[in-house]
Copies of this chain bind each other. A is one copy, B any other.
Amino acid sequence: MTAVSNAAQLQDNDLLLEQQLCFALTVASRSVVGAYKPVLDNLGLTHPQYLVMLCLWESAPRTLRNISDALAQAPATISPLLRRLEEAGFVTRQRVDGNERSLAVGLTPAGTELRQQALAVPGTMMNRLGLTREQVGELHSSMMALIAATAEDHADAGSA
């Protein structure tokens, strides 16, 4: 066997910016989030805040830890975000009774009502992006597979 690893034969042009998946991925992420902005502005939410609200509309109250797990983000990221959502009047923050460590995050009436406006967002976004429900589904599957790939341990690196 040569010293060449299983998947990665070195190729010319491997460093070309335009063919980096990581580049296309970050641009796509920023572009899509940017496309949400005018729509979410009407609700008074940023995109990360919108994701937190989706979380709470499914189940509330829930703890900060629970939300941070659901969004795959560090508690330190969620903490100030919840503070701003409280200031905006959409969520409540109080300690769980029986466990002074945990923070119970709930919805205010305004937060609950906001869901009615949010119901139109997914459809609006599909239209704005010109994507069919099927295309969205396929892209979603691709992203889930990619997330799974980062979560696994492909530890072959240099074991030959």
Q: Which chain A residues have a beta carbon within 8 Å of chain B's beta carbons? A: 5-10, 14-17, 19-36, 47, 51, 54-55, 57-58, 70-72, 115, 118-133, 136, 138-140, 142-144, 146-147, 149-152, 154, 156-157
- Residue pair A8, B157 in contact (C-beta under 8 Å): no
Q: How far is the CB of A143 from chain B (nearest CB, A)?
A: 4
What separation, in Å, do the CA atoms of A23 and B54 have in the docked complex? Answer: 10
Given A32-B25, A51-B17, A126-B8, verify A139-B146 contact (CB < 8 Å): yes
Please tell me how many copies of the chain the complex holds: 2
In the bound complex, residues from chain B placing their C-beta under 8 Å from that of A20 are 51, 54, 122
- Name A's interface SS: helix
- Residue pair B136, A154 in contact (C-beta under 8 Å): no
What separation, in Å, do the CA atoms of A133 and B138 have in the docked complex? Answer: 20
Interchain Cβ contacts under 8 Å between A and B, 12 examples: A5-B127, A6-B127, A9-B123, A10-B120, A15-B115, A17-B70, A22-B33, A25-B139, A28-B146, A28-B150, A32-B150, A127-B157
Q: How far is the CB of A39 from chain B (nearest CB, A)?
A: 10
- Residue pair A147, B27 in contact (C-beta under 8 Å): yes
- Residue pair A8, B143 in contact (C-beta under 8 Å): no
Given A28-B143, A122-B15, verify A127-B150 contact (CB < 8 Å): no
